[in-house]
Amino acid sequence: MSERALRGTRLVVTSYETDRGIDLAPRQAVEYACQNGHRFEMPFSVEAEIPPEWECKVCGAPSLLVDGDGPEEKKGKPARTHWDMLMERRTREELEEVLAERLAVLRSGTMNIAVHPRDTNRKSA
């Protein structure tokens, strides 16, 4: 019975494949240096596009490519204000019209104020 027992193995821990008979892709070692003075090499395929920035293996800080161009600056979008978003939806003439309507309602004193049902049950002080 013990001859037929299966041996247990841990999942994803041990690979039974070997590198024999396999031609690996040509590689190149690329050196990076971080602001904290750590230098390390990363292997890349010869055909791969080399990123100008990589995370440091030691401290996790951004590392720049040694003897390479720095990362290109990304264009940031200017912050959109409430006024900008409002002007996307309405013209200045429409806003003047809405303002005139609301001012007329305020000056007339006949504003319809919604009262919450919970507030009608309270006794006035």
Domain boundaries, the chain: 26-63, 79-117
Tens-digit pLDDT profile for residues 59-68: 989 999 888 7
Whether residue 34 is annotated as binding a ligand: the answer is yes
- Distance between CA atoms of residues 60 and 91, nearest Å: 50
Query: Is residue 37 predicted with pLDDT exceeding 80?
Result: yes
Compute the residue count for the chain.
125
- Pick the closest to residue 48 from 64, 31, 27, 24 (CA basis): 27
pLDDT band for 109, please (50, 70, 90 cuts).
Answer: confident
- Rounded to 5 degrees, what angle do the CA atoms 52, 37, 26 make? 45
Q: What is the mean pLDDT of residues 40-63?
A: 91
pLDDT band for 8, please (50, 70, 90 cuts).
Answer: low
- Distance between CA atoms of residues 84 and 78, nearest Å: 11
Instruction: Give alpha helix (H) positions in 48-121.
Output: 82-89, 92-108, 117-120
Pairing of strands 39-45, 53-55: unpaired
Provide the token pair at 4. 């037929």
Query: Is residue 29 predicted with pLDDT exceeding 60?
Result: yes
Using the CB atoms, write b or e for 91-114: b if 16+ within 10 Å. eeeeeeeeeeeeeeeeeeeeeeee
Which superfamily does 26-63 belong to?
Answer: RNA polymerase-binding protein A (2.20.28.270)
pLDDT band for 125, please (50, 70, 90 cuts).
Answer: very low
Whether residue 84 is annotated as binding a ligand: the answer is no
Whether residue 14 is annotated as binding a ligand: the answer is no
Whether residue 67 is annotated as binding a ligand: the answer is no
